[in-house]
């Protein structure tokens, strides 16, 4: 055998031996926690989220639940005592499930059985079991037909750093690092911009985790409401930091205030005590002149004033339900200033949300694209003329995942501020504050950047560098770098579960361009123009 051949063979043998040694070493050291699941719901709901220590992230199984059930499993790395287990269920909980343990991940023994689970926070004590693998097997789900868990913990077992690191890595790819703390809020900065008062709504968040399921009821039972209570419309005095009540209805619910161009009136949505529907109301900024604008058996929410004198809003008058869920749909409508002549201006089969006028007169809104597309991936920004014509993509409709909502123009710029809500969206539109510019077209990913972490809602740009945003019970001032300072926090007179929503400055602003109507509802027929296939 030639010398070169001998050397080559010896080198190959040594390489294989060295690689085998490394693999054996790694296997010997591999005693770290690992999390797996039988399935994962589309969106951002991986199995690890049930063990990441963050009560705002969760695992969710596919829907519907399979006949054999769906499971969530953790490998503890080594055999450990299993005595107490705590489960924090999302609304989509299991009514029947089993807890199983195993030493080898193949043969499992049932250590607990639940046949009448009610969801919420469950604690199982004194199991007196042992194992390396712990599995929760959900065999029957609540009406949501899937299983979803915020947090799963085993008494005495710490979350392994490898899981936290994996979650942190996922998060780093989706949102920026937290911005440095800003100096305390200076009310004079707002007063220099002409903002002396800010209107906002206070209420309990909806019962469901979906961004849209916060009005109406679950289709299987009209008594299973999606809204909660503690409704108040408030006005903050920026100089004193004190809030006054314009409308106080602890048994009702109030949402979506918008200030008129003249800064003298506020339109908002209100479900009065003892009633089931949200309707549009208007009130003067001093609390006088309260009047109801819309009525009926449908819900009218998320209103905005338009330059042509009408009000654009979304309404369940469309008479349909979410195709993959149990809650009603609302799409774009408009009405006269007095609430009369309501007309539907969108034919979407799923939700439209948070319409707001752009400087050029178009209406910017979120549209959920569904038919012939993913159920959960496409809910981004679109525009439409005030009469319903010219509906067109604004940004993001070619990029799956994330929900772009609560978008509004930033004064003095061509930018838009919005909430980038993760995956299939979060409860009450919660997510990261983001800024987007469409000058490079609707599909340029680099045209949008997150400026904050998650947990924020309802951004409003007062100027190019001053935004007000809601977060939990707090209203903050934020700049384009994401730096925040607290402006106001709900005090003890508000219920413990009440949160602050939709802060809007009471300040006059210019009307947008007025688009002449291109439609005539009195005509029996119309023209359809196909612009681009």
Question: Among 110-114, 255-259, 457-461, 518-522, whose mean pLDDT is lowest?
Answer: 518-522
Going by C-alpha positions, the residue among 321, 382, 399, 309 that lies closest to residue 346 is 382
* Residue 31: per-residue pLDDT: 44
The CA distances from residue 246 to 283, 286, 326, 498, in Å, are 8, 8, 34, 17
| Separation CA 419–CA 432 (nearest Å) | 6
Going by C-alpha positions, the residue among 393, 389, 345 that lies closest to residue 369 is 393
Q: Enumerate long-range contacts of 359-362, CB under 8 Å, 24 or more apart.
A: 359/409, 359/512, 359/513, 360/512, 360/513, 361/307, 361/385, 361/386, 361/512, 361/513, 361/514, 361/515, 362/386, 362/390, 362/515
The CA distances from residue 55 to 121, 153, 496, in Å, are 12, 12, 18
Where is 171: in which H helix or E strand? helix 161-172
* Residue 6: per-residue pLDDT: 42
* Residue 286: per-residue pLDDT: 97
Residue with the bigger pLDDT between 454 and 168: it is 454
| Separation CA 96–CA 106 (nearest Å) | 22
217 by Cβ neighbours in 10 Å (0-12 / 13-18 / 19+) ranks as middle
Per-residue pLDDT, averaged over 70-91, amounts to 92
* Residue 358: per-residue pLDDT: 98
Could you write out the DSSP letters of every residue in 54-115?
Answer: -TT--EE--SSPPTT-EEEEEEEEEEEEE--EEEEE-SS-EEEEEEEEESSSSS-EEEEEES
What would the two tokens of residue 384 be? 């439409």
* Residue 32: per-residue pLDDT: 58
| Separation CA 264–CA 261 (nearest Å) | 8
Per-residue pLDDT, averaged over 483-503, amounts to 93
pLDDT per position as a tens digit, 6-29: 444 444 444 444 444 434 443 434
Going by C-alpha positions, the residue among 305, 285, 366 that lies closest to residue 293 is 305
Using DSSP, state whether 432 is helix, strand or coil: strand
Per-residue pLDDT, averaged over 206-219, amounts to 94
What would the two tokens of residue 1 be? 């055998």
* Residue 121: per-residue pLDDT: 87
Does residue 456 contact residue 449 with C-beta atoms inside 8 Å? no
* Residue 145: per-residue pLDDT: 78
Strand-by-strand arrangement of the 121-124 sheet:
59-60, 148-154, 85-89, 121-124
Q: Is the pLDDT of residue 409 over 90?
A: yes
pTM of the model: 0.69
Does residue 500 contact residue 430 with C-beta atoms inside 8 Å? no
Q: What is the 3-state secondary structure (H, E, C) of 3-53?
A: HHHHHHHHHHHHHHHHHHHHHHHHHHHCCCCEEEECCCCCCCCCHHHHHCC
Per-residue pLDDT, averaged over 226-232, amounts to 96
Beta strand pairing call for 129-141 and 94-102: antiparallel
Per-residue pLDDT, averaged over 379-391, amounts to 96
Beta strand pairing call for 197-204 and 231-237: antiparallel
Going by C-alpha positions, the residue among 318, 274, 273, 311 that lies closest to residue 294 is 311
Per-residue pLDDT, averaged over 248-253, amounts to 97
Q: Is the pLDDT of residue 304 over 90?
A: yes
| Separation CA 305–CA 261 (nearest Å) | 8
What would the two tokens of residue 163 be? 């899981």
pLDDT confidence tier of residue 218, bands split at 50, 70 and 90: very high
The CA distances from residue 114 to 73, 97, 98, 249, in Å, are 17, 5, 6, 40
Q: Is the pLDDT of residue 349 over 70?
A: yes
* Residue 399: per-residue pLDDT: 87
* Residue 488: per-residue pLDDT: 96
What would the two tokens of residue 497 be? 């579960």
CB contact set of 308 (below 8 Å; sequence gap of 6+): 386, 514, 515
* Residue 265: per-residue pLDDT: 98
Question: Among 1-5, 83-87, 202-206, 379-383, whose mean pLDDT is lowest?
Answer: 1-5
Q: What is the DSSP letter of 170?
A: H
What would the two tokens of residue 365 be? 């809104």
* Residue 11: per-residue pLDDT: 40
Q: Is the pLDDT of residue 272 over 90?
A: yes
Q: How many CB atoms lie within 10 A of CB 469?
A: 24
Beta strand pairing call for 432-436 and 448-450: antiparallel
pLDDT per position as a tens digit, 92-120: 889 999 999 999 999 999 999 999 998 88
* Residue 91: per-residue pLDDT: 75
* Residue 67: per-residue pLDDT: 86
| Separation CA 207–CA 194 (nearest Å) | 37
Q: Is the pLDDT of residue 494 over 90?
A: yes
1 by Cβ neighbours in 10 Å (0-12 / 13-18 / 19+) ranks as exposed
Where is 282: in which H helix or E strand? strand 279-284
pLDDT confidence tier of residue 176, bands split at 50, 70 and 90: very low
């Amino acid at each position: 055998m030639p010398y070169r051949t001998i050397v080559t063979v010896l080198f190959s043998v040594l390489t294989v031996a060295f690689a085998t040694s490394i693999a054996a070493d790694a296997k010997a050291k591999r005693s770290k926690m690992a999390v797996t699941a039988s399935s994962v719901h589309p969106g951002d709901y991986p199995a690890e989220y049930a063990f990441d220590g963050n009560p705002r992230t969760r695992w969710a199984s596919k829907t519907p639940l399979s006949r054999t059930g769906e499971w969530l499993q953790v490998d503890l790395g080594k055999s450990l005592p299993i005595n107490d287990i705590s489960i924090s269920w999302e609304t989509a909980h299991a009514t029947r499930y089993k807890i199983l343990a195993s030493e080898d991940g193949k043969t499992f023994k049932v250590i607990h059985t639940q046949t009448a689970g009610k969801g919420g926070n469950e604690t199982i004590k004194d199991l007196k079991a042992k194992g390396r693998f712990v599995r929760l097997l959900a065999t029957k789900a609540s009406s949501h037909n899937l299983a979803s868990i915020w947090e799963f913990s085993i008494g005495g077992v710490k979350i392994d750093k490898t899981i936290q690191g994996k979650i942190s890595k996922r998060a780093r790819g989706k949102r920026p690092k937290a911005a440095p703390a800003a100096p305390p809020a200076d009310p004079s900065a707002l007063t220099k911009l002409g903002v002396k008062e800010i209107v906002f709504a206070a209420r309990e968040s909806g019962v469901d985790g979906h961004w849209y399921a916060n009005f109406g009821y679950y289709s299987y039972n009209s008594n299973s409401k999606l809204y909660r209570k503690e409704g108040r419309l408030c006005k903050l005095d920026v100089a004193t930091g004190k809030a006054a009540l314009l409308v106080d209805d602890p048994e009702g619910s109030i949402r979506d205030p918008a200030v008129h161009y003249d800064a003298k009136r506020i339109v908002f949505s209100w479900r009065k005590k003892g009633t089931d529907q949200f309707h549009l109301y208007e009130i003067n900024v001093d609390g006088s002149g309260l009047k109801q604008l819309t009525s009926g058996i449908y819900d009218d929410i998320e209103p905005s004033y338009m330059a042509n004198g009408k009000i654009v809003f979304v309404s369940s008058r469309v008479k349909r339900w979410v195709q993959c869920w149990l809650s009603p749909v609302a799409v774009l409508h408009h009405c006269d200033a007095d609430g009369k002549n309501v007309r539907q201006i969108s034919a979407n089969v799923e939700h439209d949300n948070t319409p707001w006028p752009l400087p050029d007169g178009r209406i910017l809104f979120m549209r959920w694209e569904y038919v012939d597309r993913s159920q959960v991936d496409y809910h981004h920004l679109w525009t439409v003329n005030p009469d319903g014509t010219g509906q067109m993509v604004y940004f993001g409709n070619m990029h799956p995942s994330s929900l772009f909502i609560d978008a509004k123009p930033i004064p003095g710029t061509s930018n838009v501020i919005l909430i980038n809500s993760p995956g299939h969206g979060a409860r009450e539109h919660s997510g990261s504050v983001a800024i987007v510019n469409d000058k490079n077209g609707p599909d340029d990913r680099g045209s949008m950047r997150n400026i904050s972490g998650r947990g924020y809602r309802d951004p409003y740009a007062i100027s190019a560098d001053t935004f007000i945003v809601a977060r939990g019970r707090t209203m903050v001032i934020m700049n384009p770098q994401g730096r925040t300072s607290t402006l106001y926090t709900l005090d003890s007179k508000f219920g413990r579960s009440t949160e602050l929503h939709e802060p809007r400055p009471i300040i006059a602003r210019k009307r947008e361009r007025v688009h002449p109507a291109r439609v005539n509802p009195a005509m029996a027929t119309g023209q359809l123009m196909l612009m681009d296939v």
